[in-house]
């Protein structure tokens, strides 16, 4: 017997131990400090051990509670970044996905997995009223954006064979997520050729400024490759005016990509906010954010398979499909930069089947309501001020400090305050910088959040302010 083999009984025993730990963890989640009580020295001491030459057997699992104790907790008061809350039905499916170990390259390698992925991607497109889009699941929003922009580049300024022509330009707002400049760099377009279009008072791209920049660039001999709009900017959740931007993209022959990693899935609950979403050529989404799925699970939707194939199809002979049947001959690697791909769709599929779309819609609506509740509480607290309108579920605010504080001191004070809030461990906030102002930022994409969790934000921030020092 191969020394790596374990019996099905032993698998069951290990799985039982792990699922028992996981269930206990879920049971205690609400009471745990969100920021683990640890430091670098301790994590190195615990986990930077030499690789064991001889296996430990079941003893290997003994350290798992230590891992869990030093993990950041996503209970109902976790409001950092844009991070979904890890829906447990999805987690159960992930275990099975790993056991099945399907390589979701092509139908022949995983008939059920490929069909299920196509199905859930179709469900998402339909739920967003973009039913004519197709696509695939990705590692996250960053890789979906990279692939969307690669399709834009290959369609508008083909580079796959001879390299990048020198004149391509990309447009996005000055509130765009960092994955866009990163993609522009990786695709050889060059970050100097990314134009950051100014935003208005509510952080939406100003279409007139976009138009003016494009005209200026065209007069200088440049080619607009793509305009990237945001369906929920990472800082404030602002939604760019898609309809006007689509019209400008169309007029100037540019690809229209929407970065919907944070917000596009909220269109399931409030489609009117996202008017014109369906006009994009490609859209990135993140089910591991606003469909609460365990990491990782992103998605790229696009209107044209031809554009995806033109960009990504370059198969070595060993991988080429030998089947002309449109179902059985299908290969994701012809439309994606990934070859080996995990069975990400299983968790999303099982979770959607288990709870049903209505439950997800209701949960997203709750997040939207919770964000408004928090904004109202902040407006009522005399020592706090809201720093941006609440379009989706991101709430940016700060403590007003003392009237003698300059803007710079106030920024330092709020940074110290944020650190203190995080240290206290009851609520988790992250930060944003809005026009030079340092903000505390709560982003609610959390199916565990209750009204009382939302209410604890103001209580915690005001309590922490009493002992925060700039
Ligand atoms: C607007 C936006 N775009 C892209 C991303 C990147 O997504 P991911 O972290 O899944 O790569 C994020 C992440 O927060 C985001 O908020």
CA–centroid distance, 299 to ligand 1, in Å, is 11
Specify the ligand 1 atom closest to the Cα of 140.
10
User: Rounded to an integer, what distance in angstroms lies between the CA atom of residue 180 and that of residue 177?
Assistant: 6
What residues contact 88, with CB distance under 8 A and at least 6 apart?
22, 26
The CA–CA distances, whole Å, from 389 to 189, 421, 422, 453 equal 34, 23, 24, 21
Residue list, ligand 1 pocket, CB within 6 Å:
81-82, 140-142, 145, 177, 179, 230, 232, 234, 259, 261-262, 286, 298
- Res 165: pLDDT: 86
CA–centroid distance, 40 to ligand 1, in Å, is 27
Which stretch of DSSP H or E encloses residue 437?
A: strand 437-443
Residue with CA closest to ligand 1 atom 14: 82
Pocket-testing residue among 173, 177, 264, ligand 1, by greatest number of atoms within 8 A of Cβ: 177
DSSP states of 129-176 as a string?
T-TT-EEEEESSHHHHHHHHHHHHHHHHS--TTT---TTEEEEEETT-
User: Rounded to an integer, what distance in angstroms lies between the CA atom of residue 421 and that of residue 35?
Assistant: 10
pLDDT at 469 over 70: no
Which stretch of DSSP H or E encloses residue 298?
A: strand 298-302
Pocket-testing residue among 79, 80, 81, 82, ligand 1, by greatest number of atoms within 8 A of Cβ: 82
**In the structure encoding, which two tokens stand for residue 380, read together?**
């009522």
Question: What whole-number percentage of the chain has pLDDT above 70?
Answer: 98
User: Rounded to an integer, what distance in angstroms lies between the CA atom of residue 218 and that of residue 358?
Assistant: 47
CA–centroid distance, 280 to ligand 1, in Å, is 18
User: Rounded to an integer, what distance in angstroms lies between the CA atom of residue 287 and that of residue 445?
Assistant: 11
- Res 92: pLDDT: 98
Pocket-testing residue among 145, 179, 344, ligand 1, by greatest number of atoms within 8 A of Cβ: 179
- Edge-to-edge strand list for the sheet holding 384-386: 384-386, 394-399, 437-443, 430-434
Q: What is the pLDDT of residues 387-423, one digit of tens each?
A: 999 999 999 999 999 999 999 999 999 999 999 999 9
Confidence of residue 468 (pLDDT cuts 50, 70, 90): low
**In the structure encoding, which two tokens stand for residue 271, read together?**
């489609």
User: Rounded to an integer, what distance in angstroms lies between the CA atom of residue 390 and that of residue 372?
Assistant: 7
φ, ψ dihedrals at 90, nearest 5°: -60, -40
CA–centroid distance, 77 to ligand 1, in Å, is 20
Distance in Å from the first CA to the final CA of the chain:
63
Confidence of residue 424 (pLDDT cuts 50, 70, 90): very high
- Res 326: pLDDT: 87
**In the structure encoding, which two tokens stand for residue 249, read together?**
């993209």
User: Rounded to an integer, what distance in angstroms lies between the CA atom of residue 27 and that of residue 30?
Assistant: 8
- Res 39: pLDDT: 96
Specify the ligand 1 atom closest to the Cα of 145.
4
Confidence of residue 134 (pLDDT cuts 50, 70, 90): very high
CA–centroid distance, 144 to ligand 1, in Å, is 9
pLDDT at 291 over 60: yes
Q: What is the pLDDT of residues 302-323, one digit of tens each?
A: 999 999 999 999 876 666 667 8
Rounded to a whole number of angstroms, the CA Rg of the chain reads 24
Q: Give me the mean pLDDT over the 96-119 stretch.
A: 97
Q: Give me the mean pLDDT over the 226-232 stretch.
A: 98
Place of tokens 């990472």: 234
- Res 289: pLDDT: 98
Handedness of CA 188, 189, 193, 197 (dihedral sign): negative
Specify the ligand 1 atom closest to the Cα of 144.
11
How far does CA 133 lie from the centroid of its chain?
20
Residue with CA closest to ligand 1 atom 7: 141
Whole-model pTM over 0.75: yes
CA–centroid distance, 416 to ligand 1, in Å, is 26
Specify the ligand 1 atom closest to the Cα of 296.
10
CA–centroid distance, 80 to ligand 1, in Å, is 13
pLDDT at 353 over 70: yes
**Alpha helix (H) residue ranges in 266-406:** 287-290, 305-312, 345-355, 357-380
Confidence of residue 324 (pLDDT cuts 50, 70, 90): confident
SS3 337: coil
CA–centroid distance, 84 to ligand 1, in Å, is 11
Pocket-testing residue among 147, 172, 286, 289, ligand 1, by greatest number of atoms within 8 A of Cβ: 286
pLDDT at 354 over 60: yes
Characterize 10-26 residue by residue with b for buried, 16 or more Cβ atoms within 10 angstroms of its Cβ, and e for exposed.
Answer: eeeeeeeeeeeebeebe
- Res 323: pLDDT: 80
User: Rounded to an integer, what distance in angstroms lies between the CA atom of residue 11 and that of residue 5?
Assistant: 10
Q: Give me the mean pLDDT over the 343-353 stretch.
A: 98
Q: Give me the mean pLDDT over the 319-345 stretch.
A: 90
Confidence of residue 22 (pLDDT cuts 50, 70, 90): very high
pLDDT at 470 over 70: no
Confidence of residue 65 (pLDDT cuts 50, 70, 90): very high
Q: Give me the mean pLDDT over the 363-386 stretch.
A: 98
CA–centroid distance, 179 to ligand 1, in Å, is 7
Q: Give me the mean pLDDT over the 192-198 stretch.
A: 98
**Alpha helix (H) residue ranges in 193-279:** 207-219, 242-251
- Res 467: pLDDT: 77
User: Rounded to an integer, what distance in angstroms lies between the CA atom of residue 112 and that of residue 320?
Assistant: 20
**Alpha helix (H) residue ranges in 30-129:** 40-47, 64-69, 88-100, 111-127
**In the structure encoding, which two tokens stand for residue 452, read together?**
């009382």
The mean pLDDT value of the chain amounts to 96
pLDDT at 86 over 60: yes
CA–centroid distance, 316 to ligand 1, in Å, is 32
């Amino acid at each position: 017997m191969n020394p790596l083999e374990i019996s099905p009984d032993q698998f069951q025993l290990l799985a039982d131990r792990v699922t028992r730990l996981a269930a206990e963890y879920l049971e205690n989640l609400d009471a745990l400090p969100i920021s683990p009580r640890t430091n670098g020295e301790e994590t190195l001491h615990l986990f930077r051990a030499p690789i064991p030459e001889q296996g430990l057997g079941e003893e290997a699992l003994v350290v798992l509670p230590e891992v869990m104790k030093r993990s950041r907790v996503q209970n109902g008061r976790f409001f950092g970044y844009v991070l979904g809350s890890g829906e447990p039905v999805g987690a159960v499916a992930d275990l099975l996905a790993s056991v099945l170990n399907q390589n979701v390259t092509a139908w022949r390698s995983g008939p059920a997995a490929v069909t299920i992925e196509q199905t859930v991607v179709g469900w998402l497109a339909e739920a967003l009223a973009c039913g004519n889009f197709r696509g695939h699941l990705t590692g996250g929003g960053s890789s979906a954006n990279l692939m969307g922009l690669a399709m834009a580049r290959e369609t508008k300024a083909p580079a796959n064979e001879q390299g990048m022509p020198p004149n391509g330009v990309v447009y996005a707002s000055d509130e765009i997520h960092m994955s866009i400049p990163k993609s522009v760099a990786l695709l050889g377009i060059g970050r100097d050729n990314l134009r950051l279009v100014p935003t208005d008072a509510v952080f939406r791209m100003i279409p007139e400024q976009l138009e003016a920049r494009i005209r200026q660039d065209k007069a200088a001999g440049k080619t607009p490759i793509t305009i990237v709009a945001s369906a929920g900017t990472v800082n404030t959740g602002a939604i760019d005016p898609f309809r006007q931007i689509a019209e400008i993209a169309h007029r100037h022959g540019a690809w229209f990509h929407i970065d919907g990693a944070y917000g596009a899935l909220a269109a399931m609950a409030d489609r009117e906010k996202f008017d014109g979403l369906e006009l994009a050529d490609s859209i990135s989404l993140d089910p591991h954010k606003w469909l609460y799925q365990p990491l990782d699970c992103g998605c790229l939707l696009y209107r044209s398979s031809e554009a995806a194939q033109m960009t990504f199809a370059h198969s070595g002979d060993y991988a080429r499909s030998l089947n002309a049947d449109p179902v059985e001959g299908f290969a994701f690697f012809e439309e994606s930069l990934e070859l080996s791909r995990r069975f990400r769709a299983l968790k999303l599929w099982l979770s959607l089947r288990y709870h049903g779309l209505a439950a997800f819609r209701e949960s997203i609506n709750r997040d939207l309501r919770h964000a408004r509740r928090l904004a109202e509480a902040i407006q009522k607290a005399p020592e706090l001020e809201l720093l941006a309108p609440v379009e989706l579920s991101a709430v940016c605010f700060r403590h007003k400090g003392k009237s003698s504080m300059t803007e710079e001191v106030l920024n330092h004070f709020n940074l110290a305050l944020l650190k203190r809030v995080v240290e206290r461990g009851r609520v988790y906030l992250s930060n944003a910088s809005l026009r030079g102002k340092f903000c505390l930022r709560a982003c609610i994409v959390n199916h565990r959040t209750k009204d009382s969790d939302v209410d604890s934000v103001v209580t915690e921030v005001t309590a922490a302010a009493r002992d925060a020092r700039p």
